[in-house]
Amino acid sequence: MTVGLRDTPLLPPREGGRFRVPLTPLADAMFQLLIFFMLAANLTPYSALLLQGGPPVAGTPGGASGGSGPAAPAGTALWTVENGRLRITGQSFEFDDIPDLAAGLADGIRVVLILRDAARVSDVAAVLERLEGSGISAVSIAAGAG
Q: Which of 76, 73, 146 is CA-nearest to residue 115?
A: 146
Contact status, residue 140 vs residue 111, Cβ threshold 8 Å? yes
Domain presence at residue 12: no
Contact status, residue 96 vs residue 133, Cβ threshold 8 Å? no
Number of domains, the chain: 1
Average pLDDT, rounded, for the chain: 74
Find the range with the poorest average confidence among 4-8, 54-58, 112-116: 54-58
Q: Give the residue numbers spanning the domain of 129.
A: 53-143
pLDDT-derived band of residue 4, with 50, 70 and 90 as boundaries? low
Domain presence at residue 121: yes
- Tell me: pLDDT of 1 over 70: no
Cα–Cα distance, 127 to 133 (Å, whole number): 10
Domain presence at residue 90: yes
Reported as a single tens digit per residue, the pLDDT across 58-80 is 544 444 444 444 554 457 788 88
Domain presence at residue 104: yes
Domain presence at residue 92: yes
Three-state SS sequence of 75-139: CEEEEEECCCCEEECCEEECHHHHHHHHHCCCCCCEEEEEECCCCCHHHHHHHHHHHHHCCCCCE
What dihedral do alpha carbons 63, 45, 101, 73 form, nearest 10°? Answer: 20
Candidate ranges 6-10, 24-28, 73-77, 114-118; pick with highest mean pLDDT: 24-28
- Tell me: pLDDT of 112 over 70: yes
- Tell me: pLDDT of 142 over 90: no
Domain presence at residue 8: no
C-alpha pair distances (Å), 87 with each of 1, 67, 92: 95, 20, 4
**43 burial level (CB within 10 Å; 0-12, 13-18, 19+):** exposed
pLDDT-derived band of residue 9, with 50, 70 and 90 as boundaries? low
